[in-house]
């Protein structure tokens, strides 16, 4: 198993390192709310001695409906992420969907994220790899819902052919068998680690029910919020190096993926449990 280091923030992930917490809001709704969530999560992580990275999307480009809320867009979104990074003094993670976003995002975000649906898009992966490596960040790649764990080798090889010095983190988020469901194979975490990269678990999106939100008659993605902590705990027990989680002050009023989102008040208790499990596994 490998370990990588983010020099500017003295942040490491992988073998022998603390559990890394990548957490925040699904999508930027407004700056004040994002700052409030980030402050709470940072305080909880500091209390528990866990490294923290703030996460938020500026655009959710793969919504079920054209009328779904997508976010403030790249210009306003990156401005907000810069403010959050400066005020909270934490690294940030956000995802990209288009090639011309790579350099702009890598200049702000320490973790440039490739969405699961786009992990095989060669031009996007290459652009993100080169921009991220040049900026000294990490590329966080969500494994596609259509890929076996060992198929991640092709993503890693492609990215490193474009930027040999690139640091990559793979992320497990379930496999789709259709019928509005995702299944997480915990054995896949170790399989991806054998490829020489740290692995995180996206426990939030792993509980999605794509196109199955009863509130909109299938016009948006549903979810099983109660399953987030189960998947997170199981994945950490299976050896995951980090967790990817989304919170909201009032999940039922979240503008995107509310059914998969945890209430902010649940964050400290869950993170404390995950830390205990991670330490037990390492011991």
Catalytic residues: 26, 60, 257
Alpha carbon distance 146, 116 (integer Å): 9
Residue 200's nearest CA partner among 273, 89, 274 is 274
Tally of CA atoms within 13 A in the half-sphere of 53 that contains its CB: 31
Containing H/E element for 190?
helix 187-193
Alpha carbon distance 15, 198 (integer Å): 8
Q: What token pair was written down for 118?
A: 């786009």
Q: Where are the beta strands (DSSP E) in 37-110?
A: 52-57, 92-95
Locus of tokens 């969907």: 97
Containing H/E element for 156?
helix 152-162
Residue 83's nearest CA partner among 58, 120, 112, 119 is 58
Q: What token pair was written down for 153?
A: 């080798």
Q: If DSSP codes are grouped into helix, strand and coil, which group holds residue 52?
A: strand
Alpha carbon distance 167, 138 (integer Å): 5
Q: Is 96 exposed, middle or buried, given 0-12, 13-18 or 19+ CB atoms closer than 10 A?
A: buried
């Amino acid at each position: 198993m490998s370990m990588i280091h983010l020099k500017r923030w003295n942040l490491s992930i992988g073998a022998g390192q603390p559990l890394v917490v990548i957490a925040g809001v699904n999508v930027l709704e407004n700056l004040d709310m994002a700052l409030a969530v980030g402050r709470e999560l940072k305080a909880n992580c500091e209390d528990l001695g866990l490294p923290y990275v703030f996460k938020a999307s500026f655009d959710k480009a793969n919504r079920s409906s054209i009328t779904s809320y997508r976010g403030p867009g790249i210009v306003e979104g990156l401005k907000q992420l810069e403010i959050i990074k400066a005020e909270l003094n934490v690294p940030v993670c956000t995802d990209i969907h288009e090639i011309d976003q790579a350099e702009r995002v890598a200049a702000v975000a320490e973790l440039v994220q490739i969405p699961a649906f786009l992990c095989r898009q060669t031009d996007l992966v290459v652009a993100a790899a080169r921009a991220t490596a040049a900026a000294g960040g990490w590329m966080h790649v969500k494994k596609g819902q259509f890929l076996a764990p060992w198929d991640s080798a092709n993503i890693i090889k492609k990215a490193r052919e474009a930027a040999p010095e690139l640091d990559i983190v793979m992320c497990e988020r379930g496999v789709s068998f259709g019928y509005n469901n995702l299944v997480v194979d915990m054995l896949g975490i170790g399989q991806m680690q054998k490829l020489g990269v740290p692995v995180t678990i996206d426990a939030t999106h792993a509980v999605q029910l794509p196109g199955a939100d009863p509130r909109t008659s299938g016009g948006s993605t549903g979810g099983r919020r109660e399953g987030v902590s189960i998947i997170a705990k199981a994945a950490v027990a299976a050896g995951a190096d980090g967790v990817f989680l989304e919170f909201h002050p009032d999940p039922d009023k979240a503008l995107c993926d509310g059914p998969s989102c945890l209430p902010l008040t649940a964050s400290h208790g869950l993170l404390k449990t995950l830390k205990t499990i991670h330490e037990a596994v390492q011991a």
